[in-house]
A and B are shown apart, each in its own frame.
Chain A
Amino acid sequence: KNEVEQSPQNLTAQEGEFITINCSYSVGISALHWLQQHPGGGIVSLFMLSSGKKKHGRLIATINIQEKHSSLHITASHPRDSAVYICAVRKNTDKLIFGTGTRLQVFP
């Protein structure tokens, strides 16, 4: 079983829709990352969370440590948000353990 599970695997939306991507993990963690990977392959760090909630522009990330769950929300989605969104966790060592990603397509 994967230590980090994401849902859904694929997501399509119309421009303007509110989007939620979920991440569940089965191990104790020190931090959780949300990352964005564009079709060219590059990875951009969106958030790093160890508790609570963070907001950056139209993106909001929350984490519930007790339930071992995190969500990434995108408000007023736009076609340029189309990408793969990856959840990754940091355990008690330094390495990141990645989920399989959620492929998001936003249509105009």
Chain B
Amino acid sequence: EPEVTQTPSHQVTQMGQEVILRCVPISNHLYFYWYRQILGQKVEFLVSFYNNEISEKSEIFDDQFSVERPDGSNFTLKIRSTKLEDSAMYFCASRGGLAGLDEQFFGPGTRLTVL
């Protein structure tokens, strides 16, 4: 069964460093998303991406964040200068988009720890 994959599963970085979180969405899916979950809190939307551009972004997704689909398979989230408060679980999701109202499929997440 096709699935969304994410790498790495756990990333530890120093405050101020740049990190890139990688996702491989389900093949042939058209819509891509990043969400995050701070420990003990609910999942929050960061950004949606379609047709090689951002469709929607939340207030959290400021200038420190960027997304890219550098090739036909990867979808990346870059945090330019990490802060302590960026420590969270980051989930990538994708959906096909061909059937109108269809499901989002989530990856296993990347746990980001900023020291």
- List chain A positions with a Cβ less than 8 A from chain B: 30-31, 33, 35, 40-45, 48, 50, 86, 88, 93-101
Contact = CB atoms under 8 A, between A and B. Distances in A.
B68 interface: no
B109 A42 contact: yes
B111 A96 contact: no
Contacts of B18: none
Interface of B: 31, 33, 35, 37, 41-45, 48, 50, 55-56, 58, 89, 91, 101-109, 111
B103 A48 contact: yes
Q: Is the interface of B mostly helix, strand, loop or mixed?
A: strand
Contacts of A35: 106
A40 B48 CA distance: 25
A97 B45 contact: yes
A45 B45 contact: no
A35 B109 CA distance: 14
B56 A98 contact: no
Contacts of B33: 94-96
A82 B77 CA distance: 31
State the 3 A-B residue pairs at the shortest beta-carbon distance, nearest first.
Answer: A43-B106, A95-B45, A42-B108
B56 A95 contact: yes
A61 to B, nearest CB: 13
A41 B45 contact: no
A98 B104 contact: no
A97 B56 CA distance: 13
Contact of B103 (A30, A33, A99): A33
Contacts of B109: 41-43
A41 B111 contact: yes
B91 A43 contact: yes
A100 B31 contact: no
Contacts of A48: 101-103
